[in-house]
Every structure is written in C-alpha cells, then in structure tokens.
Amino acid sequence: MSDDKLVGIVLVSHSAEVAASVADLAKGLAGGVSVPVAPAGGTEGGGLGTSAELIAAAAMSVDRGAGIALLTDLGSAVLTVKALLAEGDELPDGARLVDAPFVEGAVAAVVTAATGADLDAVAAAAAEAYTYRKA
C-alpha cells in the first residue's frame, strides 16, 4: 500500500531517543506497510524538553492529506501541541492531539493507519490502548 493516503503519526516526547525508539517499534509492527511516522523529541539543541519547531516540522513531514495524529508523552509535550493547535497555522489541517498512552497508543495508531483507516479510527485505536490489560 502506498503511504500517500495514510494518516500521519507524530510522536512527541521530551527525549529524542525515546521518540525515535517508539517510532521504530511501531513502524516495525506495521506489517511491512510504510506508514508516515515522525519522531519529535527533545529540543533543537538535543536536550530534554519539547520544541514547537520540531513538532511542526515533523507534522509537515508526515502530512499526506489524510490527517495527522499527534501522540505525546508528558505534560509540556501536551501543552506544546495544544498551543500549536490553538495557533491554527503551525500544523497542517487535520492535525489532532490524541489522548493515548505513548508506547501502546503509538503502536495501535501506526498499525491501524497501516490498514488505510481514517483519522477517527486511528485516534480511537490509540485511545483504546488505555484499556490494554497486562495482568
């Protein structure tokens, strides 16, 4: 399947390494489908934190016109994405903050996007990851 009609996924973490690792894990479980996924971790200088500029660039890089699901790890990542969405011109149309656990939600979002599902279905699958039981 071509990635030109797939929902894009942006993984926003305070750590570049965490964002990249979760992106690699999720893409590896997508059944060979090349889902547009971009990590947006850390600051421009490589430190811990979040960067509106890195998030916006990641969103632009995965935009295929089918919407973008943004998943975040902790507090200021959420606040930074909410601020970008409120500004209205920094993120592509159809960008949405998804309330989901970071790792499990990312995997669910990417695997669901790989099926060609729309943004609502991708967001629902990621949010449903809150219900995954491990014991």
Instruction: Give 19's DSSP letter.
Output: H
Confidence at residue 76, expressed as pLDDT on a 0 to 100 scale: 92
Q: In 3-state terms, what secondary structure has residue 123?
A: helix
One DSSP character per residue, 67-119 reads -EEEEE-SHHHHHHHHHHHHHSSSS-TTEEE--S-HHHHHHHHHHHHHTT--H
pLDDT value of residue 92: 95
Which among 116, 119, 115, 73 has a CA at the least distance from the CA of 93? 119
At residue 99, the pLDDT reads 97
Burial level of 8, CB count in 10 A (0-12/13-18/19+)? buried
pLDDT in tens, the chain (135 residues): 555 689 999 999 999 999 999 999 999 998 888 999 999 999 999 999 999 999 999 999 999 999 999 999 999 999 999 999 999 889 999 999 999 999 999 999 999 999 999 999 999 999 999 998 888
Residue 1 in 3-state DSSP?
coil
Question: Residue 134: what pLDDT?
Answer: 86
The pTM of this model reads 0.94
**How much is the pLDDT for 4?**
67
